[in-house]
Amino acid sequence: MNQEKRKIIRSRETPVAYDIDSGIPTAIVFSQSYKSSDMRAVPVFTTRINEEKHGKNYWFKHIRYDYLALEMVLEGELEFRTEDRCEVAGPGSLYLIPPGTTVRFSCRNGHEVRKLCAIIGGDNLKGILFTLKLADSRLLNLSDPDAMTKKIWDLKDAVTSPITENSVRTYRFLIDLSGQLEENQFTRTPFSRAVAIMESNFQEDLQIPAIASHVGVSGNTLRRMFQHELHCSPLEYLNSVRMKFAVEKLRHTGLRVKEIAMMSGFPSPARFCTVFMEKYRMTPGDFRKKELKKEN
């Protein structure tokens, strides 16, 4: 029977962030980590580049991961599972795991997997990812995977550079990656583009008619798409994304309910409380008290 291993990750923003893995151990083909003692505060920097081989029974899970992980599949298939979706990445696919994400990935169909992984951190990582629209976990099927593989490999030079140069190289890479995503969105369906807009920009004042217009369909068509794919309306899905964020803040921060409501993208605290009551049958305050009792 496989023995499960857990690695606790020290985190400034989440009280509990850790990794769990089990199965046949991973073979590290190549690993380059940033090891300099010069750790001045920088907005973003690459902390590690790995090439790994995963055994057929291997699985790995990030719990509220504190970094950005870029998982580039070179051989085989990896299955990525988050709380609300399951996606399969084959050769030439890139999967983004942003900070705060809980995701489990495993080898698929009993085959070994070879992948390239970049780990990126920084004092302003979340803000930069949000600005560049890289703040949601997603699978990207690349039009030129070889070019992206080379760009990730090139980050190993950033890892061995002084911290300021590392930061500049990493930021340029993220800008380029953001551009790749913008190009890729035109090959995606209006539904998937609408979902991506909601998940990346839920903290903003999003309007469903504006989203429909942006992806090139009418409001009625967008509603039919959401009913068919997710059995809910676009607004219900947007509220579920906002609620997922809000619940994490209630559980793991001491922020006031009013502050959480505004951070989550709800137009008012009253609206937040109404939606919360509909879903959980209790107020946000009562929910927080209940969660605290569980921890104690």
The yes-or-no verdict on residue 33 having pLDDT over 90 is: no
Residues 208 and 154 in one domain: no
The yes-or-no verdict on residue 287 having pLDDT over 50 is: yes
Residues 174 and 217 in one domain: no
CB 56 within 8 Å of CB 111: yes
Identify the CATH number of the domain in which residue 271 sits. 1.10.10.60
Residues 26 and 155 in one domain: yes
Q: How many domains does the chain have?
A: 2
Residues 160 and 207 in one domain: no
d(CA 238, CA 156): 38
More confident residue, 72 or 25: 72
Residues 74 and 114 in one domain: yes
Structural domain range at position 17 = 5-187
Residues 91 and 132 in one domain: yes
Domain termination residue (choose one: 187, 217, 251): 187
Which pTM does this prediction carry?
Answer: 0.59
Residues 27 and 116 in one domain: yes
Residues 164 and 210 in one domain: no
Mean pLDDT score of the chain: 83
Domain termination residue (choose one: 172, 187, 202): 187
Residues 73 and 113 in one domain: yes
Q: How confident is the model at residue 186 (pLDDT cuts 50, 70, 90)?
A: very low
Domain termination residue (choose one: 166, 187, 208): 187
Residues 182 and 223 in one domain: no
Identify the CATH number of the domain in which residue 98 sits. 2.60.120.10
Q: How confident is the model at residue 4 (pLDDT cuts 50, 70, 90)?
A: very low
d(CA 209, CA 45): 38
Residues 23 and 60 in one domain: yes
Give the pLDDT of residue 117: 94
Residues 246 and 225 in one domain: yes
